[in-house]
Amino acid sequence: MSERRPPRSSAHELERYAGLFASRTRVMRSSAMRDLMAVTVRPEVISLAGGLPDTSTFDPALFKELVGRMPSAAALQYGPSEGLQGVRDAIVSVMAAEDMAVDPDEVIVTTGGQQAIDLVTKTLIDPGDVVIAEAPTYPGAVPTFCAYEADVIQIDVDSDGMRIDALEQTLAALDAAGRRPKFIYTIPNFQNPAGVTMSLERRLALVEIARERELIVLEDNPYGMLRYEGEALPTLRSLEAPGPTDENDFVIYTGTMSKILSPGVRVGWLVAPRPLLAKLVLGKQSTDLCSSSLAQHFVSEYFASGDWRPYVASLCELYHRRRDVMLDALAEHLPAAATWTRPHGGLFIWVTLPDYIGTSDLLARALAENVAFVPGEAAFADGRGQHSMRLNFSSSTDENIREGVRRIGKIVAEQVALYGTLTGRPSGAPAAGGGETTEATPDAPAAPAAEPQAPGEGLASVLQLPRRGALGGRRSREA
């Protein structure tokens, strides 16, 4: 039995703490969708929701060997804020594999790629500053931007990545309003969540815009090495600084060990123009002094133990097959009214349903069938994405991918049929235009949408299950 504690007066306590919270914490809230996600961890649920690599593929014997080789005293000690030399050297070799030439002293090791996003935002954003992101964007970046009270403007992506024409319009509109974004956040390769890849033409255009307007671009490249088809495209970083002596002025690059080795080590990195680098290091010091020495020594030993590329190649082979299994299953089981992207790499497929089906609500029905996905609204700061979902294919077996997609297909078909019945437009027959799409647009505002969850009752639930807008302290605007 635990130690006795004096009873507390809950409401007064709560009020007292509420008075202590910084105003920015108002946007750091849970959401109904996030609460639903809690159900997805149950073992009977086939979860296509996570963004997980398959770590079961890592050789357990090698793991033990590497741990055995770690120098105990140093691994248990603090390390430099910029990261261990061995890890920075490893990062240089990983970046070289994607045709980027960097000096180890340009690199800051971070606690996962997530910390890189956090540090850049912390370093550059004052409340109300504009961050430009893709629509949809990485769901984990949205709460970070919002926590620093950024005004997030999202630019639609299509099969060639961020629409540069829309970006230019937005920049012009911001100019006219006397504002300029602090940075542009993009995932050019196999974007999370849409799975699309920015074309070379657009990469060149984006780098040119950054140069011309002197805008920072945060290039997030966790998946670049996980390509299953087609030729690799140059990173924004390498386009801006093609040679080893070229200065990198506007691109901040972030990478991670999460997808090529392990997300559990929480080792990512930042490469930034030198004047920014010093500030970023200070920011990191105030956050955690240094990333885990234990984890870094593991990474360092791993890269010292031999060629790291065959393991990545084996992951590519595995994920490639699972992607194909998922694409086939989608074609087989999803009604014709649904569309989805065909990623050339990475971990995700983005599925868009007819505009009368809300995917956050659909998740409730999916969970009843023991299958889960990420509702699209997680990838937006402005409430869009309600008709889309993100599916992960890297962390499930072929069998579970097929079965999970079959179940999703079944409930979507039921909802399509129900809507047909309700509107007197029976839609049993496949509609035209379904299947793989070249668009990754979030959703088209066509069908008269019901107001998203707003309770006429259930007052307590209003507090327990915050809804729409939970992440958007500042309403972001569409491009």
Query: Applying CB under 8 A, which residues contact another protein?
Result: 1-2, 4-14, 26-27, 29-30, 32, 34-36, 38-39, 42, 356-358, 361-362, 364-365, 367, 411, 415, 417-419, 421-424, 447-470, 473
75 vs 378 by CB, closer to another protein: 378
Report how far residue 115's alpha carbon sits from residue 93's, in angstroms, rounded to the nearest whole number.
21
Question: Could you tell me which of 254, 253, 237, 249 has the C-alpha nearest to residue 99?
Answer: 237
10 vs 245 by CB, closer to another protein: 10
Q: What is the 3-state secondary structure (H, E, C) of 156-204?
A: EEECCEECHHHHHHHHHHHHHCCCCEEEEEECCCCCCCCCCCCCHHHHH
What is the DSSP track for 373-405?
-EEGGGG-SSS--TTEEEEE-SSS-HHHHHHHH
26 vs 274 by CB, closer to another protein: 26
205 vs 447 by CB, closer to another protein: 447
Could you give the angle at the alpha carbon of 350 between the alpha carbons of 206 and 256, nearest 5°?
A: 60
Q: How far is the CB of 21 from another protein (least distance, A)?
A: 11
Report how far residue 444's alpha carbon sits from residue 200's, in angstroms, rounded to the nearest whole number.
27
The phi, psi pair for 390, rounded to 5°, reads -105, 130
Tokens of 226: 């996980």
The one-letter amino acid code at 147 reads: A
Distance of CA 445 to the CA centre of its chain: 24
311 vs 419 by CB, closer to another protein: 419
Q: How far is the CB of 446 from another protein (least distance, A)?
A: 11
Q: How far is the CB of 202 from another protein (least distance, A)?
A: 35
